[in-house]
Amino acid sequence: MAAATRTFLAFQHNAKLHHLQTVVARVQSFASLEESNRLLFKQGGDEDHVVVTEQTIFHPQGGGQPSDVGEITNSSGVSFVVASARMDTVHDGQVLHFGRFNQPPSSPTPRFSEGETVQQAIDVEKRILYSRFHTAGHVLGSAVRQLLEKEVADFDELKASHFPDSASCEFQGLIEGKWKESIQKKVDEFVAAKMPVQIEWWDEDDFRARGLEKLIPDRSLVPAGEKSRVVNIVGAEVYPCGGTHVDTTDLCDPTTVKKISRSKGTSRVSYTVT
């Protein structure tokens, strides 16, 4: 793989792909990484490496979603435990799989070779958990928008965190605590409705045809010649999104609105999924 070749994000096309055969493009010690990439992995040390492959099923941390974890192995029994995955800050579009090699008795120098075929496997339980939290965050965002877009001055959706220990959606505008019960009721309705969660690929004309021009992603974020990936929660809302999701909203049950906090003209609605 040439330095400029992007990693094919297989998980964006099939989130149920929990195992994948692919080819090693690069293996690099943590110490030899560019400083900006070392800063992505603050726990990195002398025994750590990054592995880049032509394709990946590992969702890199981003868009509010945690990184997948798992393992990459070769036919000789060499295993690389993936502790985190992040997008390379230097080589555009490449995914860095960060972790350590496990050394089998027959392999004194455990490394993959460039061009070698390897098998990827993710932690399926964590993938499902992260997908549930991510979809629940979109459900919550849609519920708040439908209830409060015309009730709260200068309302807009800002950003979200779908990490299990800090899940929340942030909004422009001040949302009073009195709305908590109504938001929970609307979330419950969306979850109970078993709304399909569809992955679609749109160009700019698709956004315009649906009156969603404001959702068109920045051109710099979409590779030349490619369409934008969107998550369509049928009957609720559409979001440009690169993360993983469950198939229907009922798989987020129960999603609980924890609290509403306000600061400097913005509001945060925190939630949990159990």
pLDDT of residue 106: 58
Query: Are residues 111 and 148 both part of a single domain?
Result: no
Q: Is the pTM of this model over 0.85?
A: yes
56 in a structural domain: yes
Determine what percent of the chain is predicted with pLDDT higher than 70: 96
pLDDT of residue 254: 97
Backbone angles phi, psi at 112, to 5 degrees: -90, 155
pLDDT of residue 200: 96
The DSSP line for 109-127 is S----TT-EEEEEE-HHHH
Query: In this model, does residue 110 exceed pLDDT 80?
Result: no
Distance between the two ends of the chain, CA-based, in angstroms? 41
Burial of 244 (0-12, 13-18, 19+ CB in 10 A): buried
CA gap 187, 199 in Å, rounded: 21
Closest CA to 231 of 223, 222, 240, 218: 240
pLDDT of residue 223: 79
Query: In this model, does residue 220 exceed pLDDT 80?
Result: no
CA gap 61, 44 in Å, rounded: 16
The DSSP line for 215-238 is GPPPGGGS-TT-PEEEEEETTTEE
Write out the H or E segment, with its range, that includes residue 125. helix 124-148
3 in a structural domain: no
CATH code for the domain in which residue 156 is found: 3.30.980.10
Which of 88, 122, 156 is the last residue before a domain boundary? Answer: 122
Query: In this model, does residue 13 exceed pLDDT 80?
Result: yes
151 in a structural domain: yes
Instruction: Supply angle C-alpha 45, 47, 50, rounded to 5.
Output: 85
* Distant-in-sequence, close-in-space partners of 211: CB < 8 Å, separation ≥ 6: none
Determine what percent of the chain is predicted with pLDDT higher than 90: 89
Query: Are residues 133 and 76 both part of a single domain?
Result: no
pLDDT, average across residues 192-215: 95
* Distant-in-sequence, close-in-space partners of 206: CB < 8 Å, separation ≥ 6: 227
CA gap 188, 236 in Å, rounded: 13
Query: In this model, does residue 207 exceed pLDDT 70?
Result: yes
CATH code for the domain in which residue 61 is found: 2.40.30.130
Closest CA to 15 of 136, 134, 162: 134
Query: Are residues 102 and 118 both part of a single domain?
Result: yes
Domain count, the chain: 2
Write out the H or E segment, with its range, that includes residue 239. strand 237-240
Query: Are residues 236 and 151 both part of a single domain?
Result: yes
pLDDT, average across residues 252-272: 97
pLDDT of residue 2: 43
CA gap 51, 76 in Å, rounded: 17
pLDDT (tens digit, 9 = 90+) per residue, 224-251?
A: 788 999 999 999 999 999 999 999 999 9
Query: Are residues 178 and 98 both part of a single domain?
Result: no
Which of 91, 122, 153 is the last residue before a domain boundary? Answer: 122
2 in a structural domain: no
Query: In this model, does residue 135 exceed pLDDT 80?
Result: yes
Query: Are residues 204 and 154 both part of a single domain?
Result: yes
Q: Which amino acid is at 58?
A: F
Structural domain of residue 187, as residue ranges? Answer: 127-273
pLDDT (tens digit, 9 = 90+) per residue, 15-73?
A: 999 999 999 999 999 999 999 999 999 989 999 999 999 999 999 999 999 999 999 99
Residue 24 in 3-state DSSP? strand
Which of 122, 150, 169 is the last residue before a domain boundary? Answer: 122
Please provide the average confidence, as pLDDT, over all residues in the chain: 94
